[in-house]
């Protein structure tokens, strides 16, 4: 946090200096206007990129597109997919049953089928596989 303040402080200082410098050079006529304008443009262009990168790092922005075709390829049914989503939320079979108004037996059936279709031995492995396949 202190580092961020320091960086931004130096940045603003540098920009003010650049600003004053450009004013001076343009009015004095030592350097051509094109070059000064170009320098300002380039500097602020990269400042924009830098600030943008910083702000993007703070938001997570998890843009993971779900591969619906893959789900169909694996012959995962809609119910099974619902159960898979519940598993990824860390719910137990009992809790999944309560959420979907089904018995724990049914959830076990769905989970077993899911493990077969995802070729997993455990629900945690199913999660890892499903993520690598961009299913969840």
Partner DNA sequence: TTAGGGGTCATACTAAAGTACCAACGGCAT
Partner DNA sequence: ATGCCGTTGGTACTTTAGTATGACCCCTAA
- The site for DNA (CB under 7 A) is made up of 75, 77-80, 92-94, 100, 102-106, 108-112, 115, 121-124
Whole-number Å distance between alpha carbons of 66 and 68: 6
Residues near its own copies (CB under 8 A), total: 46
Query: Rg (Cα) of the chain, in Å, rounded?
Result: 28
Question: Which one, 5 or 59, has the nearer CB to its own copies?
Answer: 59
Whole-number Å distance between alpha carbons of 17 and 125: 56
**Residue 78 found at the interface with its own copies (CB under 8 A):** no
48 is in the binding site of which of DNA, its own copies, none (Cβ under 5 to 8 A by kind)? its own copies
**In contact, 124 and 90? CB cutoff 8 Å:** no
Whole-number Å distance between alpha carbons of 74 and 108: 19
End-to-end CA distance of the chain: 34
Question: Which one, 36 or 96, has the nearer CB to DNA?
Answer: 96
Applying CB under 8 A, the residues found at the interface with its own copies are: 15, 19, 22-23, 26-27, 33-34, 37, 40-42, 44-53, 56-57, 60, 62-65, 87-92, 120-129, 134
């Amino acid at each position: 946090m202190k580092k961020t303040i320091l960086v931004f402080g130096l940045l603003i200082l540098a920009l003010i200096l650049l600003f004053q410098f450009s004013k001076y050079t343009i009015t004095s006529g030592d350097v051509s206007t094109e070059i000064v304008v170009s320098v300002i443009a380039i500097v602020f262009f990269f400042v924009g990129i830098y600030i943008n990168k910083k702000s993007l790092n703070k938001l997570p922005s998890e843009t993971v597109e779900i591969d619906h075709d893959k789900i169909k390829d694996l012959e995962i049914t809609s119910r099974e997919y619902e159960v898979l989503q519940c598993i990824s939320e860390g719910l137990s079979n009992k809790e999944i049953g309560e959420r979907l108004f089904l018995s724990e037996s049914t959830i076990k059936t769905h989970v077993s089928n899911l493990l077969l279709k995802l070729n997993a031995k455990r629900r945690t492995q199913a999660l890892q596989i499903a993520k690598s396949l961009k299913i969840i």
